Amino acid sequence: MRRGTSGQGIIEENGVFVGFGLGADFTAEHEWGIKGLRRDLGMNSNKIGLERRTITVLPENRYRAYLKGKEPTLVFLSHRVWDSEDEKEVKKHIMKNHELSLYGDKDLMGAWSDSDFGIKVTAQYRKHLTELHEAFLRKDIAIFLGGGTGNPFENAGLMVVIASRVPEEGKKLLREGDLNYQALQKADDATGIKSKLYKAGKQYFALSPKWADFFKDPDYTHKTKHKVIYWLNPMEQHVNNSGYFTVEELELWADNKGPIPMKKKEKV
């Protein structure tokens, strides 16, 4: 797990504690999604909205809550960590995890990756962490990635919340987000661009679709006939440019043309 450096905080609704935002950082562990957490905590990908994000199982050998002392801590760790059967060693490992260390004037530290997460707080937030722990035990927890729109239920980074306390507006946003994502994936599939690039031997770390009006810039909508544009993070970055590109520009890349292949003077 890697700590979040922005977007961390306590989420409340009308003065009622709802959960924690663990934040995010520009690190690979925060770019891979939470596929492992979704699988291991039994979240149902066939549903939408809050139900899609609500846990249905809690593997006891991977979940720990240490709520006493000066730094209450709650973790769900990757199974690779549980090599020791000595509970004292397990606790020592967790409490000394530098990604969860409280430094400076920090009252909260969250860290996560696709298959684990942890929350450490000062004693003043013990009650909040205890309420979250109790919700875990009754499987009343929703976990999801926020979108950074400013709404407390769409903050950037990992969100760990008490499902029964999510307000109706938050549920609506999650549902609308899922429906939009489904529509975006359908538009993505309709372009056939990923298949074309695969056949051309073009490889990338990321090729993420966005709606063509993502920038609210007429230039993008006018120069593509498709509904989507793409964020490209290519392999061989010494000869390929990264950035946002239209389907037409990606098609040119398949033929080693267009703005993606670097010109000789651009190479670094």
Residue 178 lies in a domain: no
Per-residue pLDDT of 102-146, as tens digits, reads 888 889 999 999 999 999 999 999 999 999 999 999 999 999 987
Cβ neighbours for 164, distance < 8 A, ≥ 6 positions apart: 135, 140
Residue 173 lies in a domain: no
Examine the domain organization and report whether 127 and 207 are in the same domain. Answer: no
Examine the domain organization and report whether 6 and 131 are in the same domain. Answer: yes
Residue 176 lies in a domain: no
Residue 169 lies in a domain: no
Q: Check: CB of residue 146 under 8 Å from CB of residue 154.
A: yes
Examine the domain organization and report whether 214 and 144 are in the same domain. Answer: no
Mean predicted confidence (pLDDT) in 141-155: 64
Find tokens 């593509």 and name the residue: 224
Per-residue pLDDT of 182-239, as tens digits, reads 999 999 999 999 999 999 999 998 898 999 887 776 665 558 899 999 999 999 989 9
Average pLDDT taken over every residue of the chain: 88
Examine the domain organization and report whether 132 and 215 are in the same domain. Answer: no
Domains held by the chain: number: 2
Examine the domain organization and report whether 104 and 196 are in the same domain. Answer: no
Query: How much of the chain is in helix, strand and coil states, percent to nearest 5?
Result: 35, 25, 40
| pLDDT of 162 over the 60 cut | yes
Examine the domain organization and report whether 16 and 108 are in the same domain. Answer: yes
Q: What is the pLDDT of residue 145?
A: 87
Examine the domain organization and report whether 131 and 196 are in the same domain. Answer: no
| pLDDT of 31 over the 70 cut | yes
Mean predicted confidence (pLDDT) in 14-29: 89
Residue 171 lies in a domain: no
Examine the domain organization and report whether 110 and 54 are in the same domain. Answer: yes
Examine the domain organization and report whether 71 and 8 are in the same domain. Answer: yes
Examine the domain organization and report whether 20 and 125 are in the same domain. Answer: yes
Mean predicted confidence (pLDDT) in 25-31: 81
Range of the domain at 242: 192-261
Mean predicted confidence (pLDDT) in 134-160: 76
pLDDT category of residue 28 using cuts at 50, 70 and 90: confident
Residue 13 lies in a domain: yes
Domain final position from 162, 179, 204:
162
**138 vs 60 pLDDT, higher one:** 138
Mean predicted confidence (pLDDT) in 76-91: 73
Residue 143 lies in a domain: yes
Residue 8 lies in a domain: yes
Calpha distance 77→97 (Å, rounded): 11
Cβ neighbours for 110, distance < 8 A, ≥ 6 positions apart: 3, 4, 8, 20, 21, 22, 23, 117, 118, 119, 120, 157, 158, 160
Q: Check: CB of residue 210 under 8 Å from CB of residue 228.
A: yes
Calpha distance 261→142 (Å, rounded): 43
Calpha distance 58→223 (Å, rounded): 49
Examine the domain organization and report whether 25 and 121 are in the same domain. Answer: yes
